[in-house]
Amino acid sequence: MKLVPHLRAIGRIMGLCGVTGFFYAMWTAVTPFLLAWPRIAYRWRNLNFRNWARVTAALLRMRVAVQGTPPQAPFFLVSNHLSYLDIVAFASQMDSVFIAKSEVALWPILGYLCQCMGTIFIKRNSRKDVLRVNSLIERALRSGKGLLLFPEATSGAGAEVLPFHTALLEPPVKEGYPVSYATLTYQTPTGQPPAYLSVCWWGEMPFLSHFYELLQLKSLDATLVFGADSIRADDRKELGDKLWQAVNKDFTPVLDLEALGRTSD
């Protein structure tokens, strides 16, 4: 029986490569003919990315439940961050440009696709790069696009919402733009490795071995909860604090530290 999860993972790797290759071929074949019409090209980008994410979720047997209503473009949305799989979960349900750390561009399959889909990458340790990225965010908002930011700046184990970094919240403050928020949580079926280990990617977990273990899961559940209101503030730190409180209020932990402690006693 131990062979079955490995065969499942290998089959999914082949499937993901085939699916990604197909949608990339579609993207490269059609996009050159749409360069003169940016809005149509953006809609084509969204359709292609959304369909890729939905097929990928189906391959992983990831069921995505949605509570609330996703915002309509143009929007600026923030969410907690748990895994590289967050991109698939959100992209399967809504159209948005992701703002991600530059390391994402190096991830197998997903990183390359994100590059093609116009993800805005930022060098986390470069203050100078913040100015460049904020300029791109302002331009995207003015052109009517939706943006999604994970302000924790790193993914966590799902026990709590980590502190928000506020440098990239300057554009919505500057423009007086309302910011929407959402929360994301994962769960695996009974008998499968717990989500905080098999889905959430945190600490010093090696990417490739973690990804391979995730592919061995029979199935998993993702729940997206979109906040009913949007938030404004005159200062990015104040905005970050309000958003953190809103996300923290709606967040359902993946990992219950108290329950884990009782189990280990």
Mean pLDDT of the region 139-144: 90
According to DSSP, the β-strands at 146-149 and 220-226 are: unpaired
- CATH at 163: 3.40.1130
CB 62 within 8 A of CB 227: no
pLDDT at position 257, please? 57
**265 inside domain:** no
**From the CB of residue 43, how many other CB atoms can be counted at a distance below 10 Å?**
13
pLDDT at position 265, please? 39
CA angle 254, 195, 264 (to 5 degrees): 75
**80 inside domain:** yes
**188 inside domain:** yes
CB 89 within 8 A of CB 57: yes
Report the chain's C-alpha Rg in angstroms: 18
Give residue 155's domain range. Answer: 3-251
Rounded Cα distance, 167 and 240, in Å: 9
pLDDT tens-digit readout, 198-216: 999 998 999 999 999 999 9
pLDDT at position 262, please? 43
In total, how many domains does the chain have? Answer: 1
pLDDT tens-digit readout, 153-184: 889 999 999 999 999 999 999 888 899 999 99
**152 inside domain:** yes
**258 inside domain:** no
pLDDT tens-digit readout, 70-79: 998 899 999 9
**75 inside domain:** yes
**264 inside domain:** no
